[in-house]
Amino acid sequence: MTKALVTGCAGFIGSHLTQRLLNEGVTVIGVDGFLDNYDVAAKLRNLAEIGNHPAFTFHSTMLQTQRWKEWLDGVDVVYHLAALPGVRNSWGKAFTDYVNHNILATQMLLEACLQLPKPPVVVVSSSSSVYGTMQGTFTDESSPLRPVSPYGVTKEAMEQICQVYVKAYGLPVTMLRYFTVYGPRQRPDMAFHRFFRQMMKGEPVVIYGDGKQSRDFTYVADAVQANLLAARHALPGEIFNVGGDREIKLLDVLNIMSGLLNVTPNLSFQSGPAGDSLRTCADIQLAQNRLGYRPQVPLEEGLRLQFVDMRAQAKG
């Protein structure tokens, strides 16, 4: 692998992946449209972390401008992370934007890859949201897809359009279903970022629901590693869960966080919004067996690293 295209390169996971690729000597073409789903200043900070690396070329534009000939020239692997994220904001009129950025943009990318003499490997970022609220002990990739939010529906449809191109043309596409990724540079709207920010400011910590909902949390460096492994080892059409070291209730996570800050948080419980899953827990055996994926960062260490990063940002 010598040249990669990273869509959504200024985002949370995309910026970490871009850095990792550059550190490994890969030439990276980065595209990011700076969607206003959260403060653009955070994305600019992410780009600043990447820096002016001589092997990095950045394009500040939407994928819908379709400058594919320029972006895909000589590319071996495409890491497609560009999307409109967020379960809670995907209802109502916003659904049109989710369809545009999560489904239509992906189809445009696949079509462009198909026109190349040798299509690149494409690793597409999906979400555990396609499962909805999970039943049983663990959720593997063969579990029923029952999304409970419009966002989850768009991610399921995105996977389906990818499979169509795999089956019809043999396009080398694989998909990764992330289970709640966290760590330095996490989006400001995500729970861990909000909790840390509120505790650092001495504000009430707002919890949607009763806090007993459980999640499987994935440290961002582990998510990045899953991308690299999928590019090397996955077969066309394969789908993999990308999870962390264990399932844990939100209230238990808050106990770990408050210990890091040495504070007693003032918890404010609010009614849970529509579309939130009550439980997610990844069976990652397939990714372990096929890709050699194994999460390396325990939740306690990952939370510490996220807190250190947020504290440094606050002081800066």
Residues that are catalytic: 151
Determine whether domain 3-182+218-244+281-296 maps to CATH 3.40.50.720: yes
DSSP element (H, E) containing 315: helix 299-315
- For the chain, domain boundaries: 3-182+218-244+281-296
Q: Which residue has the higher pLDDT, 256 or 1?
A: 256
Res. 274: pLDDT tops 80: no
User: Tell me: the pLDDT tens digits for 3-31?
Assistant: 999 999 999 999 999 999 999 999 999 99
User: Tell me: the pLDDT tens digits for 68-82?
Assistant: 999 999 999 999 999
Compute CA distances 195 → 49, 65, 73, 277, 278, whole Å.
23, 37, 42, 19, 18
Res. 300: pLDDT tops 90: yes
Average pLDDT over residues 177-196: 96
CA dihedral sign, ordered 66, 71, 75, 77: negative
User: Tell me: the pLDDT tens digits for 27-57?
Assistant: 999 999 998 887 899 999 999 999 899 999 9
DSSP element (H, E) containing 121: strand 121-127
Res. 192: pLDDT tops 90: yes
Compute CA distances 299 → 110, 210, 248, 302, 303, whole Å.
35, 21, 10, 5, 6
How many helical (H) and strand (E) elements, i.e. helices and strands, does the chain have? 11, 13
At a CB cut-off of 8 Å and minimum separation 6, what does 44 contact?
10
Q: Which of the residue ranges 88-92, 120-124, 219-223 would you say has the lowest mean pLDDT?
A: 88-92
Q: Which two tokens stand for residue 223?
A: 């998510």
Per cent of the chain over pLDDT 70 is: 99
Average pLDDT over residues 115-120: 97
Structure confidence at residue 1 (pLDDT): 67
Average pLDDT over residues 105-122: 98
Res. 132: pLDDT tops 70: yes
Structure confidence at residue 173 (pLDDT): 98
Mean pLDDT over each residue of the chain, to the nearest integer: 95
Residue with tokens 């209730």: 249
